[in-house]
Amino acid sequence: MRSMGMTPYDFVLNAGKDEIDRTGGFCHRTFQGTDCIYFIESLRNIYTKHGGLKTLFETPVCNGGSIKESLIHFRKVFFEIPHPARTLKHIPDVGRGSTAKRLNMFLRWMVRSDNRKVDFGIWKGISPADLFLPLDVHTGSVARNLGLLKRKSNDWKTVEEVTENLRKLDPVDPVKYDFALFGLGIYGGF
């Protein structure tokens, strides 16, 4: 944030090459400076040529597609400009079976509304009914213990299976159960 002058949106759209290159020293676990620079460049491309993240995610769904198609579309556009091969690992590929946990979590935050303000609910072009559970080891384990999942592995088919079972409980807002499943897994509910 400091290297972006505490204004990331403005920085992404307006920073010059020298300013962007200064973010190259950023590192968090496997996310290196090269990745940071590419993310800025890709986000600039998304906001200047595709109408922003909201439009990018909403367009496939608004045209009769699914969230899975939105996730595939997002990844395709994210990497449509020249990119370092190493950066591919930072954006999941649901077309190859990834659970896309962080992207599903991001969509949950942007689409759902709740009284506790955990989820912002600022994107209205996608219905909460269309969302998929942000599956991780904790939600998967609890879902299996509750009989919501039969699959043993955590992959996109597992995301579809557990979400379909949650839709039977609440077809309007199936991922509202995410925090409860996660909490039971983290805090040892089983």
pLDDT of residue 189: 60
> Which of 33, 66, 91 finishes a domain?
91
Contact between residue 129 and residue 174 where contact means Cβ atoms under 8 Å apart: yes
Question: Which tokens in the block code for residue 167?
Answer: 């839709």
- Closest C-alpha to 98, from 172, 36, 156: 156
Segment 67-86 shows an average pLDDT of 97
Q: Does 61 lie in the same domain as 81?
A: yes
Q: Does 77 lie in the same domain as 58?
A: yes
pLDDT of residue 2: 87
Q: Does 110 lie in the same domain as 47?
A: no
Q: Does 56 lie in the same domain as 84?
A: yes
Q: Does 112 lie in the same domain as 63?
A: no
Number of domains composing the chain? 2
Task: Average the pLDDT over each of 2-6, 68-72, 88-92, 108-112 and give the range with the smallest value.
Answer: 2-6
Residue 167 sits in which domain range? 101-186
Task: Average the pLDDT over each of 2-6, 91-95, 108-112, 181-185 and give the range with the smallest value.
Answer: 181-185
pLDDT of residue 44: 98
Does the pLDDT of residue 190 top 70, yes or no? no
